[in-house]
Amino acid sequence: MNYEKMLELAELAAKNAYVPYSEFPVGACVLCESGNTYAGCNFENSSYGLTICAERNAVGTAIANGERKIKAIAIFSPNKKNCTPCGACRQVLSEFQSDEGLDVILQGDEGIKVTPLKVLLPDCFEL
Ligand code: THU
């Protein structure tokens, strides 16, 4: 699947975000080595720290479907261009990046922006 279509799926997922506290919807779509894609949105909780980011929701759905290698993730927020993944999500993504790495796809100021995860998270923690 091409990166434009993935951003569209992320945009669609953001419409389901549950964000009564921040009013900051985010959608994400991961592309796995199988060729399958999985979308996720953020969902918040009155106990704020329990909030789950869109990226981790999408990764969790991929894992629950038996996937283990992720090639790319598209992230979209209607509130903000260049909506980069938070530090925690970068670390979670690093766990499942494909052998060729993982592309992070964002809606930039002038079209799609693609950045390798290793640029966003150099020297990630590994056991
Ligand atoms: N959020 C994400 O979904 N992904 C990120 O990478 C950063 C933040 C969500 C969490 C919360 O629901 C809202 O954005 C504001 O922080």
According to the model, what pLDDT value does residue 1 have?
82
Does residue 37 have its Cβ closer than 6 Å to ligand 1? no
Read off the tokens for 87: 């530090």
- Residue 125 falls inside a structural domain: no
Nearest CA to ligand 1 atom 7: 86
Closest ligand 1 atom, CA of 88?
6
Does residue 26 have its Cβ closer than 6 Å to ligand 1? yes
In contact, 22 and 46? CB cutoff 8 Å: no
Residue numbers of the chain with a pLDDT score lower than 50: none
- Residue 126 falls inside a structural domain: no
User: The CATH number of the domain where 35 resides is what?
Assistant: 3.40.140.10
CA distances from 42 to 1, 28, 76, 100, 122 (A): 23, 9, 11, 27, 25
- Residue 27 falls inside a structural domain: yes
pLDDT digits (tens, 9 = 90+) for 66-94: 999 999 999 999 999 999 999 999 999 99
According to the model, what pLDDT value does residue 80 have?
97
What is the tally of structural domains in the chain?
1
* Burial class of residue 61 in the structure, from the number of CB atoms within 10 Å of its CB (0-12 exposed, 13-18 middle, 19+ buried): middle
Distance (Å) from CA 108 to ligand 1 centroid? 18
Does residue 88 have its Cβ closer than 6 Å to ligand 1? no
